Structure 1
Amino acid sequence: MMKKTKIVQSYWSKAYKNSPNSGWAFRETHYMSWALSCLQLKQFYDEIELITDSEGADLLINKLHLPYTSYLTTLDKLNDENPAIWTLGKIAAYEMQQEPFIHVDGDIYIWKPFPKRIENAGIVAQNIEKNYTFGINLLGEMRNMDFFFPFLPSTGDMYESNMGIVGGHDLDFFKDYCSLVYNFLDSNRDKLESLSGGVSSVNTIMEQYLMYEYAKRRGKEVEYLIPNLPSSRMYKLTLFSLLPIDVSFIHNIGSNKKREITSDRLARLLYCAYPQYYAHVSNLLKQKTV
């Protein structure tokens, strides 16, 4: 019997503390999101590894008591890095994997296991993003600022791989991809502060754009969880109201986190599905333990 796919989540405390409420409308939603994400993954997967730092382990393991089967505080090595480059925590998690894996962000909740084509693929990602205005403008700005790229940036349509989920069996590809990302970052550190969108705007290029382009140049096929998702339909990934019949996968992308109704619906979901965890998080907040 084939071993079930290992799920990986990563939590770099310094990056989360760098934005108000860790990107959510309310501080408590950040904790509830991590609880719901981990608990739903645990419904379908036996092995869930947490790659974090000492502070993250204290929060998610010691305080929230989330059922990770193992954890490592490897991300302590990022203490001297700029927390605005939040994707470094994820890249470090990919780089250290020694067996097939699927990395799942903490704002993703699943209601059924990933399809076998995803669990068994060499490289997987969530979906393709095509010609997003933010990405096109950023790439153009980087070209004008003479950013170093490991390959000639595309001048036609711009494609990126959304990496809400990412991973696969091709571990050599991920080692090489992570090296490429580090090379890109180290070659351009002196230019990051000058980006019109600030240092944090580099994350999508580092992670999503380089991933798509590198896989294409290596002739590697990427298996996408949602193969044909036009940008006009991305919002469907955030609709809790469609669970569990119409959708089985939710990803709270971008600015949706800052909507109060999102926090309300997420809290209600946690309360209904895991009332003991909801009560535990609420008590930690009342006691000001988190």
Structure 2
Amino acid sequence: MRAVWSLWSKPLANGNHPGWYTDRHHLLSWILSFELARRHYQETVLITDDCGAALLVDGLGLEFGSVSLELNALADHDPNLWAIGKLYAYECQRAPFVHIDNDVFLWERLPPELERASVIAQSPEYVPYGGGFYRPESIEYAIHRHGGWMPETFESYMPISGIIKAENCGIMGGCRTDFIRHYASETIRFIEHPDNHAVWRSRPQLDQDMVLFEQLMLSACVAFHHGRPGSPYADISMSYLFSGHEDALERADACGYTHMLASAKRDPDLAAHLERTVSQLYPQSYLRCIENLAARTI
């Protein structure tokens, strides 16, 4: 199984450093995420653009096994569509893989049974319909209002007993890359469809909608195809490292897994711990990061 990371740099140029305490801690997270995972996975891949490669490879000196500039294709996209970089990365995979977010740190390799699974994610997410960042009813209303387009997988996805299921994609991948490419391609089409340009312009918090496109659309695609007669993906199901949020809180340390979610990135104590960890485990990379930031070369 290969380990894959992606970085679309345009949201960074737009001033979005995914919620980290400082720009420095954002860069330090890349060092730790990559260096830990490559202890377990010999094949490492970065999907990025020219600026992303300059930042991570030329600037930080991260030694990815291969680097693709696939995300140069997104140069004209709205930077609020931040999840589309990950979707492009998913779509171009042809062999079993795990995509690792830069705020995920794998102290241990993933369990063998998870690496053999069809489609994997960190954990399922269950939220009340209309709650949190998942607002499918709001997006569907906007599509009807502006004459937009939505895939059948999205239109037919209904909450069960008022609860929406989505997938936490801190890690995401699997062995059924045919299905993963299908999900990514359909979601990209949803985002890029010409009839939806006016829809997205009308969204006051388009950046928050992106969680739905990545994580809820994966659930919707699995639900649509699972058990469907004639579907090439009828046997698809999800497998998880954790059964839910509470399970992740209880067992993350035992599994050697850290995911610095949301407000954790902005916590000054956790930021200091991240900096100490990188400086102790990878002192040369740490110094390179600090020196380049001081010289404003990254």
Say whether residues 1:254 and 2:250 are aligned partners. Answer: no
Residues in 1 aligned to 2:295 and 2:140: alpha-carbon distance in whole angstroms: 50
Q: Could you say what secondary structure the match of 1:165 adopts?
A: strand
CA contact (8 A) 2:108 2:255 kept: no
Cα distance in structure 2, aligned partners of 1:15 and 1:143: 25
Structure 1 position 217, deviation (Å): 1.6
Contact 2:183/2:218, CA 8 A, preserved across alignment: yes
Q: Deviations over 1:146-192 (max 9, x none)?
A: 36432323143200011111111111101211221023221433112
- State the alpha-carbon separation in 2 of the partners of residues 21 and 157 from structure 1: 31
Offset of 1:144 from its aligned partner? 2.9
What is aligned with 2:229?
Answer: none
Q: State the 4+ residue runs in structure 1 displaced beyond 4 angstroms.
A: none
Question: Could you tell me which residue of structure 2 aligns to residue 139 of structure 1?
Answer: 136
Q: 2:90 aligns with which of 67, 90, 94?
A: 94
Alignment: residue pair count: 276
Q: Which amino acid aligns with 2:139?
A: M
Counterpart amino acid of 1:270? V
- For the aligned residue pairs, the C-alpha RMSD in angstroms reads 2.0
Q: Tell me what 1:153 maps to.
A: 157
| 1:288 paired residue number | 296
| Shift, 1:280, TM fit | 1.6
1:3-18 correspondence runs (5 A):
5-18=1-14
Structure 1 counterpart of 2:44: 48
Cα shift at 1:22 = 4.1
CA separation in 1, counterparts of 2:208 and 2:285? 34
Q: Report the Cα distance in structure 1 between the residues aligned to 2:18 and 2:297, rounded to whole angstroms.
A: 17
CA spacing shift, 1:149–1:135, aligned 2, 3 Å: farther
Question: Structure 1, unaligned stretches of length 5 or more?
Answer: none
Contact 1:42 1:67 in 2 (8 A): no
Contact 1:33 1:107 in 2 (8 A): yes
1:99 counterpart SS class: coil
Which stretches in structure 2 are left out of the alignment for 5+ residues? Answer: 227-235
Query: CA–CA distance in 1 between the matches of 2:47 and 2:139?
Result: 31
- Equivalent residue for 2:199, pick from 191, 203, 210: 191
For residues 287 and 109 of structure 2, the distance between their equivalents in structure 1, rounded to whole angstroms, comes to 27
SS in 2 for 1:272: helix
CA offset digits 1:112-134 (Å, max 9, x no partner) = 10011111111111110001521
Separation in 2 of the partners of 1:21 and 1:131?
Answer: 26
Equivalent in the alignment of 2:212:
205
Cα displacement (A) at 1:15: 1.9
Percent of aligned positions that are identical: 28
Match of 2:233 in 1: none
Within a 5 Å distance, the mapping from 1:123-138 to structure 2 comes to 123-131=119-127, 133-136=131-134, 138=135
Is residue 67 from structure 1 mapped to residue 53 from structure 2 by the alignment?
no
Deviates more, 1:176-185 or 1:164-173: 176-185
